[in-house]
Amino acid sequence: MKLITKNTDYAVRALLVLGGHPQEYISARQVALEQLIPYQYVRKLLRKLMHYDLVVSRDGAGGGFTLKSSPSKIKLADIIRIFQGDIQLSECMFRKKICPQRSRCVLRTHIMSIERLVEKEFNGITLESMLKELKGKK
């Protein structure tokens, strides 16, 4: 069971790179090199982060990506949601209007509360807090 996929992991690292160079445009190539992420792959991730308004890009030579908003506003939970979708109970169809099993489903309420707990934890971790930790390690 994985709480975090490679996608998310890479995305966080990429954002940390951008966060490490405020106001600068950093190319995908540089991110790939700094974090040892496959070049084309990180480009894809960065583009996705752009679609979700976490970063902005600039075309052409000297271009690249930079954070759109302050690191304190970027939560780990957001990143996870972008790359792994919402936290959700297996095949339980309770999102699809009415689940036929619902009346005798025992897992549902438990999972939902644990999901909320996890979400809360992930919400407490921001890019800012991660950047600080990183500085502490250097």
The CA–CA distances, whole Å, from 26 to 18, 39, 58, 64, 86 equal 7, 13, 9, 5, 29
DSSP code at position 91? S
User: Judged by CB under 8 A, which stretch of 9-17, 21-29, 49-57, 58-66 contacts a second copy?
Assistant: 9-17
Q: Whats the size of the chain, residue-wise?
A: 138
- From the list 112, 80, 125, 39, the residue with the least C-alpha distance to 31 is 39
Q: Which does 88 bind (CB under 5 to 8 A by kind): a second copy, DNA, ligand FES, none?
A: a second copy
Binding residue for a second copy, selected from 86, 95, 96, 97, defined by CB under 8 A: 86
Q: How far is the CB of 99 from ligand FES (least distance, A)?
A: 3
- Tokens representing 18? 């951008």
In this chain, which of 23, 60, 85, 98 binds a second copy, going by CB under 8 A?
85
* Distance of closest approach, residue 2 Cβ to a second copy, in angstroms: 6
Contact status: 93 vs a second copy (CB under 8 A)? no
